[in-house]
Structure 1
């Protein structure tokens, strides 16, 4: 079982988010007061393509272990820096399948929809960071480490130190793909 290390949000569209004492997840919408909250897609590029698409990026989660890995490469980052809403520890988010449920705190539940696809904004934030969040698997497959995206199935407040419980979907499991 993992835990929540930090929670973050920010109005509008900004790369990084501000840490908070708690965030409120709203079922079917996302993080109350966050720029990506809504039923339809809020990601600027995706919204330009089709603003009626469902918002599969309501909540961005990132494992804190990535910060340790990046620190060893000379990057200095804090929770919220990648624009994540929930920073976790003790859960290998990238290994979870599409449709996996994460129970956060007492009542919030998010369903994983896919991987965050790193973009040029990461290098604008810190030069070289995009390459540091991408890796090649032995089979040549690209590994994206910039977190996972989710939709809110059940609302509730989420705070640092809350437990993260995993509920796997029925087999067969589908690996996370960029959304």
Structure 2
């Protein structure tokens, strides 16, 4: 599904958001923060475990045991996630030091550092289908990195 706001801006842009993947470890983190989540609750199509999805570069191929997807970017969580579970945005969006967005940043010698630092988006990654097929629960995932230089995932 293509994001409606992006289609309004440019209806001819490619759909980089076909398959949403989330790492199961996010559910553990949410649970520790008091939010009970289960696979599928955040709209993901595939839940992975033991794979640092957020650290993979753009163009990484994931063979899901038949189907293959190519990573295109990070899912950008928005305030609507708090409608589902109040306060959940603080779990899926944080500062690099781990401080949740919406909470005061730790004091530093230069207060501009806390406000200028990039956000860490933990709501999963988006991908496009390279080869279709049936995703089998529990199947091993084979990771194929693209040629270097690797480009970090950005919100799509």
Of Structure 1 and Structure 2, which has the larger fraction of its residues in helix? 2
- Aligned partner of residue 120 in structure 1, secondary structure: coil
Of Structure 1 and Structure 2, which has the larger fraction of its residues in strand? 1
Q: Distance in 1 between matches of 2:77 and 2:129?
A: 22
Instruction: Give the corresponding residue for 1:126.
Output: 85
Q: Distance in 2 between matches of 1:171 and 1:53?
A: 25
5 Å-filtered alignment, 1:1-179, equals 36=1, 42-105=2-65, 107-138=66-97, 140-179=117-156
Residues 66-122 of structure 1, C-alpha deviations (whole Å, 9 max, x = no match): 0001100000000001110000101000010001110001x2110000000001221
Structure 1 runs not aligned, ≥5 long: 1-35, 37-41
Structure 2 runs not aligned, ≥5 long: 98-112
Q: Distance in 1 between matches of 2:92 and 2:125?
A: 13
Q: Distance in 2 between matches of 1:129 and 1:50?
A: 30
Runs of 4+ in 1 over 2 A off after TM superposition: 138-141
Aligned-residue Cα RMSD (Å) equals 1.2
Instruction: State the aligned residue count.
Output: 138
Residues 106-143 of structure 1, C-alpha deviations (whole Å, 9 max, x = no match): x2110000000001221111111112111111483211
Q: Distance in 1 between matches of 2:33 and 2:45?
A: 24
Q: CA deviation at 1:51?
A: 2.2
TM-score by length of 2: 0.85
Instruction: Give the corresponding residue for 1:26.
Output: none
Instruction: Give the corresponding residue for 1:27.
Output: none
